[in-house]
Amino acid sequence: MHKEAFVMAVYSDFAGQVRGKGYPARELDERWEKGVGWTPTNVMINCFGAIPATPWGASGDLLLRPDRAGDCVIDFGDGSHVERFILGNVEELDGSPWACCPRSYLQAAIKELADDFGLHLRVAFEHEFTLVDLEARLGSAYGLEAIRQIDDLPEVILAAIDRAGLEPDTFLPEYSPGQFEVTVRPALALEAADRAAKLRQIVRAAARRKGWRASFTPIMKPGGVGNGVHIHFSLEDKNGKPLSYDPKGANGVSAAAAPFIAGILAQGRALCAVTAPSRISYDRLRPNAWSASVTNLGARDREALVRICPVSEKPGAKVEKSFNFEYRAADAAATPHLALGAILRAGLMGLRGKLALPKAATVIEIARMSDAEKKANGIEALPSSLGDALDQLEKAPAALMPEGLKMPYLMHKRGELQYTAEIERETLFSMYAQVY
């Protein structure tokens, strides 16, 4: 059977879906600059493949240009089909960034952080997923038996991640039956977001080879256990020197990091519209579910919006490099580039406003606070629905999301709400499980 080597130029869109166009691999040299033609309305395709609303209709032309840094080859070394896709940017025909390109949105924020404050963000995305077709063993949470049931899938995933240059870190069984977690090592912000987009595709491809279906859906069923995407991050200078830790700071938070974190907390309610952007995401963001439900900073609190992660307390331990923060109100319905771009821009707002960092408080401590104490610490409940979150984003300053991106994004997500309004809940959860 004759075959022509094939490459996809792609990007991760508003719906967290990786879409694009393919071309013969022999054309790759010219496609680095030439790219492939794209259409504005394509970004308005929701996760179910429909276009409930679009500001552009059938008009307009764009360019989807692959980036060498976004190159990903999925090769399992077993004679099965080798996939190749390349993440890139959506541009205007003159080569300038398109206002609605998620990757460009992140890149612009990265540049601001470096140019205006001399700071860089090191990031690691921590993904949870569920093997939908696996007949999971009862009581196997975090257990060896859960790994035994999936045969060599962890080895296959870790090897594919390594071959793709993502630097594998951990793989473990999670709390819910059939649920697993996979992490890769930290990288600078753009590479980290690219790694997250690549990792989801690698895991899905590996599970498919083994006869299962991997879903990163925010939550599998009403009242169930969620699949989070926890975003770990820390600040450093241009030479890679860690800047987030100061032993004299409250809970070890440095003067450089404090306003950055304060900005994220201040914009927490609006951020949810970008980081938890599906109708069912808010079944996960609820109290007592080991996910965020209020805009708090927490030290070792896995229900905080931003968690100060633990470090070694052994005498003489050097903790600067390992000291990091974790944003917990995210899931894989969000494209990594939009989610990280919004978090970074919220941090920039905190830096520009020289915001004071609220004191860390666990959800248990918050439950004992008066309304006045909560207000003094900027603690508010996260939105209870995607609609509420979108209303918060609409009111947010352009510094968080420019109008040229915000208006289409709000239209896209409100269109998703309209599209799903009459769908029965059990069916809706099943649909999201399929698309993510």
How confident is residue 1, by pLDDT bands cut at 50, 70 and 90? Answer: confident
Measured CA to CA, the distance from residue 255 to residue 261 in angstroms comes to 10
- Mean residue pLDDT across the chain: 95
In this structure, what CATH number is given to the domain that contains residue 11? 3.10.20.70
Would you say residue 411 lies in a domain?
Answer: yes
Among candidate residues 69, 97, 125, the one where a domain is terminated:
97
pLDDT, mean of residues 378-384? 93
Q: Could you tell me the CA-to-CA distances from 27 to 5, 65, 330 in Å, in that order?
A: 10, 13, 37
- The reply to whether 1 falls in a domain is no
Report the predicted TM-score, pTM, of the whole model to 2 decimal places.
0.96
Query: pLDDT band for position 208 (50/70/90)?
Result: very high
pLDDT(373) > 90: no
Residues 147 and 58 in one domain: no
186 part of a folded domain: yes
For residues 92 and 136, state if they share a domain: no
222, 341: one domain:
yes
31 and 161 housed in the same domain: no
Cβ neighbours of 279 (radius 10 Å): 23
Residue 412, pLDDT > 90, answer yes
Residue-range definition of the domain harbouring residue 221: 106-435
Cα distance between residue 59 and residue 39, in whole Å? 8
The pLDDT of 250-268, averaged and rounded, is 97
Count structural domains, the chain.
2
The reply to whether 267 and 118 lie within a common domain is: yes
pLDDT interval class at 365 (50, 70, 90): confident
71 domain-assigned? yes
* Integer Cα distance of 431 and 422 in angstroms: 13
Higher local confidence (pLDDT), 231 or 378: 231
Residue 426 is assigned to a structural domain of this protein: yes
- Residues 234 and 364 placed together within one structural domain of the fold: yes
Q: Span 61-81, mean pLDDT?
A: 94
pLDDT at res. 290: 81
Residues 325 and 198 in one domain: yes
Helix (H) / strand (E) element for 290: namely none
Mean pLDDT of 240-264: 96
Interval 383-399: pLDDT, tens: 999 999 999 999 999 99
Q: What is the CATH number of the domain that holds 428?
A: 3.30.590.10
Q: Are residues 313 and 403 in the same domain?
A: yes
CA dihedral 380, 385, 388, 393 (to 10 degrees): 80
Instruction: Output the pLDDT for position 224.
Output: 87
In this predicted structure, what is the pLDDT of residue 140?
83
What average pLDDT does the segment 227-232 reach?
97
Residue 136 has pLDDT above 80, yes or no: no
Average of per-residue pLDDT across 229-236: 98
pLDDT digits (tens, 9 = 90+) for 2-43: 889 899 999 999 999 999 999 999 999 999 999 999 999 999
Written as six digits, the tokens of 154 are 């962890």
Q: Looking at the structure, tell me whether residues 121 and 229 fall in a common domain.
A: yes
Burial class (CB in 10 A: 0-12, 13-18, 19+), 194: buried
Rg (CA), the chain: 21
The closest alpha carbon to 229, from 141, 323, 123, 144, belongs to 123
Residue 322 in domain = yes
Task: Examine the domain organization and report whether 394 and 336 are in the same domain.
Answer: yes
Sign for the CA dihedral angle at 235, 284, 427, 425 comes to negative
The answer as to whether 398 is a domain residue is yes
Query: How does pLDDT run across 298-351, given as a tens digit for each residue?
Result: 987 888 999 999 888 888 788 889 999 999 999 999 999 999 999 999 999 999
> Between helices 189-209 and 153-163, what is the axis angle to 10°?
140
Q: Are residues 31 and 148 in the same domain?
A: no
Which of 73, 97, 121 delimits the end of a domain?
A: 97
Q: Do 229 and 364 fall within a single domain?
A: yes
pLDDT (0 to 100) of residue 24? 93
* pLDDT score of 311: 85
Amino acid present at 108: A
Q: Does pLDDT of 168 surpass 90? A: yes
User: What pLDDT score was predicted for residue 421?
Assistant: 95
Element spanning 358, H or E: none
65 is a domain residue: yes
Domain end position, chosen among 97, 116, 141: 97
CB 71 within 8 A of CB 194: no
Identify the pLDDT of residue 258: 98
Q: What's the rounded mean pLDDT across residues 220-226?
A: 90
